[in-house]
Amino acid sequence: MIKVGIVGGTGYTGVELLRLLAQHPEVSVEAITSRSETGVKVCDMYPNLRGHCDTLTFSEPDARKLGALDAVFFATPHGVAHALAGELLTNGTRVIDLSADFRLRDADLWSEWYGQAHGAPELLGEAVYGLPEMHREKIRNARLIAVPGCYPTAVQLGFLPLLEAGLIDAQQLIADCKSGVTGAGRGAKVGSLLAEASESFKAYGASGHRHLPEIRQGLNDMQQSPVGLTFVPHLTPMIRGIHATLYSQLTTEADDLQTLFEQRYANEPFVDVMPAGSHPETRSVKGNNTCRLAVHRPAGGNTVVVLSVIDNLVKGASGQAIQNLNLMFGLDETLGLNAPALMP
């Protein structure tokens, strides 16, 4: 049994980790931390976990106790994993970070976008970006995983086959993305209130969003040179889900984009290329670790439109983190993640 801990367990990604790990046959959650909720039973805060986590109680972070575990998830705001990751790694504990702390390889670029000095630049060289569809073999041998963000996951999986095949103009990429309000976290914010977000739709971060350098870094890796990307996120009045509409221009004749996508993802357990002409819905991945894709070529022209949907809390966060855990410990990659999506 793999013994794990969760640092920062009171947010949406923390409770989603618990929900998914509760049905994982090879994992035991031994510790979950929260400075503000120390002493509170997890099932009292989250009644949906009654009968699954009845003996688990929030506690103060203790590096000694966490360092005795096989792996520790960080479901924390940026900057927190910097302080503890090094000590845990020294003790032989593997670290799976769901925050942005280790996603960018350039410490100065991270500081520019997150407004503070990077707290552990010496660890960036060994951090593995946890997108299994690109880095599966590196993940298997990793000690430190940077779990991709939700928008970056949907965007990168949508563009990946096209960039790898060299079919599109990499300087004219557009990612028009929509997210449910859980993407903003569980903290009380006016913009996330029901009366503010319901029956409304808005863009934000159009002049620059923190996920932009992460997406660029991943797309650059796909074609080994810098890309040109316009990324505009939007807030939609739904709880979960991300829908990314991706635009690019063909630079060479491409006879069968549908086959290209189907072949690229044929052996990927959590990417579903839908039949030609499909329009995937966010509700089709609710609570599920799948990214559903559809590729279109409107009117047979040079514009390619890729539709990509994920659950921002699962494939965009906690589910992908568990997918990484499975790979790191030599388990079946799909273990604990095979439940179908919730509909309606």
Q: Supply the residues annotated as catalytic.
A: 150
User: Do residues 79 and 7 make contact, with C-beta atoms less than 8 angstroms apart?
Assistant: no
Q: How far is 143 from 20, CA to CA, in rounded Å?
A: 22
Q: Which amino acid is at 279?
A: H
CA 54, chain centre distance (Å): 28
Longest dimension (CA), the chain: 62
User: Do residues 130 and 324 make contact, with C-beta atoms less than 8 angstroms apart?
Assistant: yes
Strands (DSSP E) along 38-121, which ranges?
A: 58-59, 71-74, 94-97
End-to-end CA distance of the chain: 35
Q: How many CB atoms lie within 10 A of CB 5?
A: 25
Q: How many CB atoms lie within 10 A of CB 187?
A: 9
Element (H or E) spanning 144, and its range?
strand 144-146
